[in-house]
Amino acid sequence: MGKARTDKLGQMNVLKSRMQLLCHTIDSLDETSDIEDLERLAVSLDQLKAKVLRYAKDMKEHEGSESG
């Protein structure tokens, strides 16, 4: 398992990379794609959403600690 990103720039780079990978995956879907391909895509989307929400929480907590 990879090291958790705590810096904002690193987090944004992770999100951009994940989004590019998802876009590539979506581009590769065609008439030969099956239900398993779509299920893997759904799992990837859920994982990306979880990562976005985690980073948003981290940023909110960081902003709160700076102002307090």
Tens-level pLDDT at each residue, the chain (68 residues):
566 777 899 999 999 999 999 999 999 999 999 999 999 999 999 999 999 999 999 999 988 887 76
Helix (H, G, I), strand (E, B) or coil at 24: helix
Q: Is residue 35 part of a domain?
A: yes
Dihedral of CA 56/58/61/63: which sign?
Answer: negative
pLDDT reported for residue 67: 72
Q: Is residue 10 part of a domain?
A: yes
- Count the domains in the chain: 1
Q: Is residue 1 part of a domain?
A: no
pLDDT reported for residue 28: 95
68/65 Cα distance (integer angstroms):
5
Residue for token digits 């239900």? 35
Sequence-separated (6 or more) residues with CB below 8 Å from residue 48 = 15, 18, 19, 22
pLDDT reported for residue 3: 66
Q: 26 lies in which domain range?
A: 6-64
